[in-house]
């Protein structure tokens, strides 16, 4: 049995399945991360919420400096893609670290420079501008923002909203997706992505303090031709490469949040302090009556099972990305994206119920976690889109299944004929 501290956050069984896929560096970094979160981050959470300096760069500064010294910085940044700045971690290895970060809440990810939406470009704060007002933007082929070339410049016109992080004073650049070739017969080659400085003339933002999800108008914004990312018509290629691993990071953090909620629930229902009106025989080893109320034990068991199942889904997706890149793991990413947030919401809801009114106020982290996860069922593509895509992929298997069934029936009939028998149907 492994003695690695990760088993206290996940399970011995899930760790046993992937331990041999972790390098010595990854195991050491994971242990170091857990220690940092337990000794530095979680004890500082309340103080961090109370201290809100005018300069966002000053928030969590002490924790960030400690994380850097420990080498716990930009853990999502792959050395394979960024040899000079990256760390030698696979998607699978980082996925487990993302779960631990999710367990410890938003401050944990921020402290080690791995928080959404900036994972992928954290050294320069950015905002990814794709979603548009009055447009079904979950299908990016619908976007209307225009990107056109004029001489040595690119001109952008469009109305975006829910642009995460755009209001942060540290945000320096927007990655804007728009249509550059609306008449292209291939609807997936009509879009391009352009880098737009946050302070470029013609960029108008509407406040959603402190850094929130902004509404932005690009009114004849001009940028150099060199600001085009990868090339014309490669917008879809860019967003798939960017969002695939990011969705898995979201999912693993969600599992960590669900695990944290279950741990709070376990402590709540076995807490001897709440005094109930009915005296029911106590569970051996506990001093609380609450654990015997209603379906509490069943809810605990369901939450445990659902967390374990969801974790395996995400680990499978992360492994597929490592082997075949994001494009080769679309099915696994899609399944995880619509299964995991709903699972986490259900687990957190059960925990809230065990706390009663306390569960929906700021005295615990449950209400905040639930609200954050609810938005995740919409962000990076709503559940309905991922469900539709996974369903369509499954339907593509029908011709193969039909042909396979015919082959088996042929052999079945041959065996019956040889035995001198006939089916009655």
Average pLDDT per consecutive 10 residues, the chain (425 residues; last block may be shorter)? 86 92 96 96 84 70 91 86 83 94 88 73 72 83 92 93 80 90 90 91 61 81 92 80 73 94 94 55 52 80 96 93 87 93 96 92 90 85 88 95 95 91 72
**Measuring CA to CA, which residue among 314, 386, 387 is closest to residue 344?**
314
Query: What are the tens digits of pLDDT across the range 56-78?
Result: 667 778 898 999 999 999 898 88
- What is the pLDDT, as a whole number, of residue 290? 64
In this prediction the pTM is 0.80
Percent of the chain with pLDDT over 70: 87
Superfamily of domain 237-381: Butyryl-CoA Dehydrogenase, subunit A, domain 3 (1.20.140.10)
Is the preceding omega at residue 210 within 30 degrees of 0, hence cis?
yes
Superfamily of domain 5-111: Acyl-CoA dehydrogenase/oxidase, N-terminal domain (1.10.540.10)
At 19 the three-state DSSP class reads helix
- DSSP characters over 51-75: ---SSGGGTTHHHHHHHHHTT-S-T
- What is the pLDDT, as a whole number, of residue 233? 86
Query: What are the tens digits of pLDDT across the range 82-114?
Result: 777 788 999 999 999 999 999 988 889 888 988
Q: What span, in angstroms and rounded, lies between the C-alpha atoms of 359 and 338?
A: 25
Q: Give the architecture (CATH level 2) of 126-233.
A: Beta Barrel (2.40)
Query: What are the tens digits of pLDDT across the range 161-177?
Result: 888 878 777 788 899 99
- What is the pLDDT, as a whole number, of residue 209? 45
Q: What span, in angstroms and rounded, lies between the C-alpha atoms of 92 and 248?
A: 10
Give how far the C-alpha of residue 320 lies from the chain's centroid of Cα atoms, to the nearest Å: 16
Q: Where are the domains of the chain?
A: 5-111, 126-233, 237-381
- What is the pLDDT, as a whole number, of residue 277? 37
- What is the pLDDT, as a whole number, of residue 275? 52
């Amino acid at each position: 049995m492994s003695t690695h501290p990760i088993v206290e956050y996940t399970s011995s069984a899930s760790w046993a399945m992937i331990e041999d896929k972790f390098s010595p560096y990854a195991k050491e970094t994971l242990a170091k991360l857990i220690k940092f979160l337990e000794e530095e981050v979680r004890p500082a959470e309340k103080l961090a919420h109370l201290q809100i300096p005018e300069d966002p760069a000053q928030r969590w500064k002490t924790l960030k400096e400690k994380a850097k010294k420990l080498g716990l910085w930009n853990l999502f940044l792959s050395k394979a893609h960024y040899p000079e700045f990256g760390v030698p971690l696979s998607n699978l290895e980082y996925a487990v670290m993302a779960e631990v970060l999710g367990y410890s809440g938003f401050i944990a990810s921020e402290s080690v420079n791995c928080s959404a939406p900036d994972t992928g470009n954290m050294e320069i704060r950015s905002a990814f501008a794709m979603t548009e007002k009055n447009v079904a933007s979950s299908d990016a082929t619908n976007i209307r923002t225009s990107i056109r070339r004029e001489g040595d410049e690119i001109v952008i016109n469009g109305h975006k909203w829910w642009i995460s992080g755009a209001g942060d004073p540290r945000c320096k650049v927007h990655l804007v997706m728009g249509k550059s070739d609306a008449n292209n017969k291939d609807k997936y080659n009509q879009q391009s992505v352009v880098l737009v400085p946050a302070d470029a003339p013609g960029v108008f933002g509407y406040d959603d303090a402190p850094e929130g999800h902004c509404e932005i108008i690009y009114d004849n914004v001009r940028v150099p031709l060199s600001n085009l990312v990868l090339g014309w018509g490669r917008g879809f290629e860019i967003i798939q490469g960017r969002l695939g691993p990011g969705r898995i990071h979201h999912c693993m953090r969600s599992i960590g949040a669900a695990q944290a909620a279950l741990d709070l629930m376990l402590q709540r229902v076995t807490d001897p302090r709440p005094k109930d009106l009915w005296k029911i025989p106590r569970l051996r080893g506990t001093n609380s009556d609450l654990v015997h109320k209603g379906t509490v034990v069943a809810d605990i068991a369901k939450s445990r099972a659902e967390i374990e199942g969801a974790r395996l889904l995400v680990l499978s997706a992360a492994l597929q990305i490592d082997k075949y890149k994001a494009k080769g793991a679309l099915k696994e990413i899609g399944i995880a994206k619509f299964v995991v947030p709903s699972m986490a919401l259900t687990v957190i809801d059960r925990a809230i119920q065990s706390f009663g009114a306390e569960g929906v106020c700021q005295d615990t982290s449950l209400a905040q976690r639930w609200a954050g996860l609810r938005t995740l069922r919409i962000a990076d593509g709503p559940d309905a889109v991922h469900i539709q895509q996974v369903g369509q992929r499954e339907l593509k298997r029908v011709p193969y299944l039909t042909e396979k069934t015919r082959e088996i029936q042929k052999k079945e009939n041959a065996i019956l004929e040889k035995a001198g028998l006939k089916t009655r149907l």
